[in-house]
Amino acid sequence: MARKKPNVIVTGTPGVGKTSHCEILSERTGLKHFSINQIVKERGCHEGWDEEYKSWIVNEDELLDSVEDEIKTGGYIIDWHACELFPKSWIDLVIVLRTDSTNLYDRLQNRHYPEKKVQENLDCEIMAVLLEEARGSYDEQIVIELQSNDVDDIEANVERIEEWIKSWREKNK
């Protein structure tokens, strides 16, 4: 069945600004903010807590089964630091947020992440791991890289994504 509303993934290294973008986008577009971290925790799609990394060990099959019926209907802004898990046929736009290492370092320090986790996330950002993952998993024309260094970036990015969502809805009436 064709979707009446698009599904958008907002991805990027932890700390790039996914949640900040998704919350505003959801408010302005009426699409639902789907925080995968929260879903993993609330629905128990995990195999326990990793004390070293301070994060849940995600059970990807359970997660996919749990969200499939919802996402397939359309209208979701999917907020997660990975994206290749979601089948191509479910996804209409992939936003990869990027930020400078100094910004990211400060933001992750503020979160009191363990040093090892800060370093790994900095490496991930510098190597553009999630951008490559997105480009490798979805058609190139639906993957957009946007900078998220300051609040002006957030505003400009949100406006651009809103425009895109509007035109998708026009085309798919």
- Residue pair 24/79 in contact (Cβ under 8 Å)? The answer is no
> What x/- string results for residues 143 through 172 when contact with ligand DAT is judged by CB under 6 A?
-----xxxx-xx------------------
Q: What's the token pair of residue 43? A: 């629905």
Verify binding: residue 20, ligand DAT, rule CB under 6 A.
yes
In angstroms, give the least distance from the CB of 22 to ligand DAT. Answer: 8
User: Which range binds ligand DAT by CB under 6 A, 17-25, 48-56, 82-90, 119-127?
Assistant: 17-25
Lookup: tokens for 56: 């849940």
Query: Cα separation of 41 and 55, whole Å?
Result: 10
8 binds ligand DAT (CB under 6 A): no
d(CA 140, CA 65): 26
Between 5 and 18, CB nearer to ligand DAT: 18
Question: Which tokens in the block code for residue 58?
Answer: 């995600």
Annotated binding site for ATP: 15, 17-20, 111
